[in-house]
Amino acid sequence: MNQKRWRWSEVVGLGLTAVALGIVAFMQQDALRQLQAQTGEQFTDAEYERQNAQTIAQMQLLAKLPSFGFDNLVADWAFLQFLQFFGDSAARQVTGYDDVPAFFEVIIAKDPRFAQTYPYLSTAITVYAGQPQTSVALMDRGLVAMDPAYQPTAYLAWVFRAMDELLFLGKGRAAAVSYDRAAAWAELNPEPQVRAAAEYYRSLAQTLRRDPDSRMAQINAWIWALVNAVSDRSRQTAIENIERLGGKVSRLPDGAWQIRHPEDLR
């Protein structure tokens, strides 16, 4: 595979364009806050529903339209829109999170190698929207396009796929396969700590092959989810499930998590 060599001017141009898109998104949100402050009013439920329908329709159209060579920028823009959507808690209390997959349909269609978005994909679609099958299906489409030699964090997609399969779909044997792939890709990472984690993923795979319903494998997967959570809700979900399975979670003064396994509590 030939890796494209970017000229410095192209890199700067793309960077400035991405920054500009981010500024526009920020200005839109800031203008909305100023308007609400001036009027002293909050949007009605009907207005939230209208905005939600409009945004999702735009995403659905964007996923199908050609990007004329700007696929990466379109994916970046869709991710910025997702962050704005996801962070608008007032609107989500009205419309919920069911439409979250629309943003990732754009990202997977335009830039499936955008590996940094996969933790958000899994958390938002599985934990918030309650659609683990959709999460796995989208990751499957993206993984086909990835190469760990060029996307060093691509192994994370296999890890989150495994977690969705094990913890939300009850497919322990499928999760074992995903953990094995995560280990193989992690071993290609240039960071020593990531390569060291490969053995952890491989041990989880071995445990699940012996016992697809292993409580210990589930606890370890939830611990990983807790440490890598991207929102308070996903952290709370992980804590509740660790303790449901017999573990104990506490926070140390330095902010680190302390997790005690069931055998440690006997």
pLDDT band for 250, please (50, 70, 90 cuts): very high
The percentage of residues in the chain with a pLDDT greater than 70, rounded to a whole number, is 83
Q: Are residues 156 and 202 in the same domain?
A: yes
Q: Are residues 126 and 107 in the same domain?
A: no
Q: What are the tens digits of pLDDT across the range 78-123?
A: 999 999 999 898 899 899 999 999 999 999 999 999 999 998 999 8
Domain count, the chain: 2
Name the average pLDDT for the chain.
84
Q: Are residues 75 and 167 in the same domain?
A: no
What pLDDT was estimated at residue 6? 36
Enumerate residues 6+ apart whose C-beta is below 8 A from 72: 14, 110, 111, 114
Tell me if 64 is assigned to some domain: yes
Enumerate residues 6+ apart whose C-beta is below 8 A from 45: 94
Q: What are the tens digits of pLDDT across the range 118-158?
A: 989 998 999 889 899 999 999 999 999 999 999 999 999 99
Vertex 88, ends 82 and 90: CA angle to 5°?
Answer: 150
Cβ neighbours of 161 (radius 10 Å) = 27
Cβ neighbours of 66 (radius 10 Å) = 8
Tell me if 85 is assigned to some domain: yes
Final residue before a domain boundary, out of 88, 111, 134: 111
One-letter amino acid for residue 37 of the chain: A
Q: Are residues 92 and 224 in the same domain?
A: no
What pLDDT was estimated at residue 59? 93
pLDDT at 224 over 90: no
Q: How far is Cα 13 from Cα 265, in angstroms, rounded to an integer?
A: 56
Q: Which domain holds residue 222?
A: 122-266
pTM of the prediction?
0.76
pLDDT at 25 over 90: no
In the block, tokens 């269609």 appear at: 109
Q: How far is Cα 214 from Cα 6, in angstroms, rounded to an integer?
A: 47
Final residue before a domain boundary, out of 81, 111, 141: 111
Cβ neighbours of 32 (radius 10 Å) = 14
Tell me if 116 is assigned to some domain: no
Q: Are residues 153 and 248 in the same domain?
A: yes
What pLDDT was estimated at residue 80? 93
What pLDDT was estimated at residue 14? 39
Q: Are residues 169 and 129 in the same domain?
A: yes
The residue ranking higher by pLDDT, 266 or 93, is: 93
pLDDT at 166 over 60: yes
Q: Are residues 227 and 151 in the same domain?
A: yes
Tell me if 117 is assigned to some domain: no
Tell me if 209 is assigned to some domain: yes
